[in-house]
Amino acid sequence: MSHSYLTFEQLLQRVDEPYRSAFRRLLTEYGELFKSARGSSHNHQAWAGGYADHVREVMNTAVVLYEALARLRPLPFSLSDALVVLFVHDLEKPWAYEESGGAWRRREGLKENAHPFRLAKLAEAGVTLPEELERAVCFVEGEGSHYSNRARVMSPLAALCHMCDVASARLWHDHPLERDDPWEGAGRSNADPAI
C-alpha cells in the first residue's frame, strides 16, 4: 500500500482533541521559530528548519508503522496517542541550540531539563498529558540509564515512537530531501503552509 507524505495539517487531523487544538496553537505561535530551528546540532536534520522536518518525519513514519503493525496484532494504544507523543518528544529543540564559534551546540542545562521544558510549553498551550503519554515522551529516545532486566520500562507506545525516532534520526537522518525525495509528497517543512 502506498502512503503519501502528509502535511502537518493532515497529520493533526488524525490527532484527538484537546491535543489537536493545542498543537495548532503552538504551530501558530512558534511557527517561524519551528521553521528555522535545527533538528540537532549535527546528527540528524541539522539544517535550519530541521526540527519541523524531524517532527513531521516521525509523525509520517508513525502513520505507516501503526497501520502495518496493527494488521499483524492489535496495538494497545491509538494512532492519535503515538502522534501526540511524537509531536511533543523534542518540543524543547527550537530553544535548545545556539551558534558558538561557527558551530552549533546545545544550550547549557536544557538537555537535563528537556522534559519539564516540554511540559511547560504544553501547559502554555492549555494541555496536560495523561501519565501514559507523558511516560512515553520520556522514553522516545530509549531507556538509557533506566534500563532494567527486572522491569519493563518502555511502554508499547514508547516503543513504537522510539522506532519512528530512530528511523528519522539514524536511518533517514538527511531526509526529507530538499528536492526529489523518494517518498511521494515528502519535502522540507518550510513549504508546509500549516506552519
**For range 7-19, the mean pLDDT:** 96
pTM of the model: 0.91
At 136, which helix (H) or strand (E)?
helix 131-138
Per residue in 85-114, pLDDT tens? 999 999 999 988 777 776 666 666 666 788
C-alpha cell at 61: 513514519
CA–CA dist 135, 155 (Å, integer): 8
DSSP 105: E
Cβ atoms of 141 and 162 within 8 Å: the answer is yes
Ordered by start, the domain boundaries in the chain are: 14-34+54-92+112-177
**Per-residue confidence at 146, pLDDT binned at 50, 70, 90?**
low
The confidence score (pLDDT) of residue 1 equals 56
- Per-residue pLDDT, 107: 67
Output the CATH code of domain 14-34+54-92+112-177.
1.10.3210
Instruction: Report the helix count and the strand count for the chain, using DSSP H and E.
Output: 7, 2
